[in-house]
Amino acid sequence: MIGFLHIAVVRIERIWGSQIWPGFIVLGLVLGVASLFVENVLVSALLGVNGFLFAWSGPELKKQKERAQREPHN
Mean pLDDT of the chain: 90
CA–CA dist 65, 42 (Å, integer): 35
DSSP 40-64: -HHHHHHHHHHHHHHHHHHHHHHHH
- pLDDT higher for 54 or 67? 54
Q: Where are the domains of the chain?
A: 2-70
pLDDT tens-digit map of 26-52: 999 999 999 999 999 999 999 999 999
Asked whether the predicted pLDDT for residue 24 surpasses 80, the reply is: yes
What integer pLDDT is reported at residue 28 of this predicted model? 96
CA–CA dist 74, 62 (Å, integer): 21
| Amino acid letter, residue 34 | A
Asked whether the predicted pLDDT for residue 65 surpasses 60, the reply is: yes
